[in-house]
Amino acid sequence: MITKWRGFLENWLSSKEGFLAESYLPYVTDAILCITLILVAGAIHLITKYVITRGAAKLVKRTKSSWDNELVNGRLLQWVAHLTPAIFIWSHIGKVFRVEGIGVALTSISYIYIVIIGWLALSSLLNAFGRIYEKFSFSDEVPIKGFLQVIKIVTFVVGMVLIVSSMMGRSPLVIFSGFGALTAILMLIFKDSILGLVAGIQLSANRMIAEGDWIEMPQYGANGSVTEVALTTVKVQNWDKTITTIPTYTLISDSFKNWRGMSNSGVRRIKRSININMNTVRFLSEEDLKQFEKVVILQEHLKKKKTVLEDWNKAIADQAQVNHRRLTNLGVFRAYIESYIKNHSAFDSENTLLVRQLQSTSEGVPMEVYFFLNDNRWVEYENVQSDIFDHLFSIIQEFDLQVYQKPSGQDFQEAFNS
């Protein structure tokens, strides 16, 4: 077609005697064809932009789905509108100029332009796909941002090879064949990306981490919510609003704690100890028992215990008093804690409740309280936990027990003054 138009223009210009010197005829013809090619490409761009962009926008408004909005709102359609006239110029520009060097150079430039715009279009498509994927619920557990970044890197490398091969005038296969010798260098340059890719596959396949998870990794100072799982890094927003960036592959090589199980379960564990002063532990008298029997949540426990102890003591009535069994204030306090928690509205009865003594130390007898709350919201959890232990610290005096506390300077001062 270009050849026919060139012949038509040359015949028309030659018919105009004195209008143009014959020596300038080829250059003028090439210039007119080039301008015409540019104008046609511009018209194709406008038509394509109008048809694709506006037509797609109108079509999207008629659909009920939301995923197609991402394709329209992104820059994908704009890059496609640029790509169409570029392909048109690339396919014809080499035939416009008779000077071979100019045609080859412009063809190469247009080819490079097509590769760049094509990569930008593909990148926009991947970005749109990522935004669409994030709208699904399972995207939190299986993030794909790292995989999309890998695809972008691979396509970028391919695009650079195509550009270099076009500039050198050689086949891309020649450059690709030379990559074998550069493997070691590439592995060194893209070491973090390769390790991140492998780690990302393992993290996603095993669902070890996802955006929104609360993780702890003390060796990196991370304790907060995961905001981004990328190819080479994982970003964690700590509870003090600072951002910690962790290399992705360290989540595979090192250990970390993920609180997702707690968040999904709807419950949260309380595991705390109260250190009891061993000097305040004693047997209960009959008068003490009468006082404790007035406590409603202890009545059932004391009734069962008294029956067991009476049966035991009757069986060994003729033995020494030291062999007899009696209730202690510490044991009754332990039963009180258990009953109190069972009757608390925040207690989750489907999980373990344990009130036990740990190994005594120089700081007293640790009474460990282990149970689960039915509300894992942070503020509510801390409020309920504080309320429960406020009550236990206050009520412990009713059992004639004392909480162990290391003496302070004021304690020594009071002892010295006394």
Q: What are phi and psi of 233, to 5 degrees?
A: -140, 155
Average pLDDT over residues 17-35: 55
| Confidence band, pLDDT 50/70/90 cuts, at residue 369 | very high
Closest CA to 297 of 261, 331, 340: 340
Answer yes or no: are the C-beta atoms of 122 and 158 closer than 8 Å.
Answer: no
Say what the pLDDT of residue 189 is.
Answer: 67
| Confidence band, pLDDT 50/70/90 cuts, at residue 20 | very low
Average pLDDT over residues 336-352: 93
- Length of the chain measured in residues: 418
% pLDDT > 90, the chain: 27
Condensed to tens digits (0 to 9), the pLDDT of residues 188-214 reads 666 777 777 777 777 776 778 888 889
Q: Pick 11 or 310 by higher pLDDT.
A: 310
Say what the pLDDT of residue 236 is.
Answer: 94
The beta-strand segments (E) located in 201-327 are 214-217, 222-229, 233-238, 243-247, 257-258, 268-276
Answer yes or no: are the C-beta atoms of 221 and 233 closer than 8 Å.
Answer: no
Torsion sign, CA atoms 146, 147, 149, 154: positive
Range with the poorest average pLDDT among 54-63, 82-91, 233-242, 355-364: 54-63
**Domains of the chain, earliest start first:** 2-135 (no CATH), 204-265 (2.30.30.60), 268-282+328-416 (3.30.70.100)
pTM of the full predicted structure? 0.58
pLDDT reading at 347 higher than 50: yes
Average pLDDT over residues 276-298: 91
Radius of gyration of the chain (CA): 40
| Confidence band, pLDDT 50/70/90 cuts, at residue 19 | very low
pLDDT reading at 333 higher than 60: yes
- DSSP H helix total and E strand total for the chain: 17, 8
* Structure-block tokens of residue 11: 């015949």
Condensed to tens digits (0 to 9), the pLDDT of residues 94-124 reads 666 665 666 677 777 888 888 888 888 888 8
Whole-angstrom distance, CA of residue 220 vs CA of residue 282 = 48
pLDDT reading at 276 higher than 60: yes
Say what the pLDDT of residue 21 is.
Answer: 43
pLDDT reading at 367 higher than 90: yes
Average pLDDT, the chain: 80
